Amino acid sequence: MEIVAAQKMSYEALQQFIDEHGFDVHALYKKSYVVLENEKIISSFQLEQVENKAYWLKQLYMMEDEVMKLPRILAYILHFAEQLEMEIIYAHSHQPVTDLLFQAFHFSLNQSPSEDLLQTKKQGNWWTYKICS
């Protein structure tokens, strides 16, 4: 598995992945990363800075047939964040299975990182992961 900035991928590869999910290719291209396995995009995610060294795992998409790899992909994302010297990752969940995943990875249940984000995501739970380096 490999994490690559979406900007480094071909437009065609991104478009093929996006056709599966129905979101904006330009938003993916500008702000996201993709997870490659055997040169195929199996997932994409976006880390948006909300504070100094604190980021929001804003989006995480998976190919439907790759969903069993979600724990491994989350581990790669957290390792990637550590390499970039991020200290805190915030995540929002509105599904019990996602809550279980965050618990398994030692995220802490808490409030939104900011009032602005709290207003955009009123339903569900906010989680925090502190990266130990």
Q: At what angle do helices 70-83 and 96-104 cross, to 10 degrees?
A: 50
Query: Which residue range(s) make up the domain with 42?
Result: 2-130
What is the reported pTM? Answer: 0.84
Which helix (H) or strand (E) covers residue 36, if one does? strand 32-37
- Let me know if 49 is exposed, middle or buried by CB neighbors in 10 A (0-12, 13-18, 19+): exposed
Look at residue 77 and tell me whether its pLDDT is greater than 80: yes
More confident residue, 103 or 30: 103
Closest of 40, 45, 75 to residue 62, by C-alpha: 45
* Strand 88-93 relative to strand 54-62, pairing: parallel
Number of domains in the chain: 1
36: CATH? 3.40.630.30
Gap between the Cα atoms of 81 and 47, Å rounded: 9
Task: Report pLDDT digits (tens) over 91-122.
Answer: 999 889 899 999 999 999 886 666 666 566 66
Look at residue 74 and tell me whether its pLDDT is greater than 80: yes
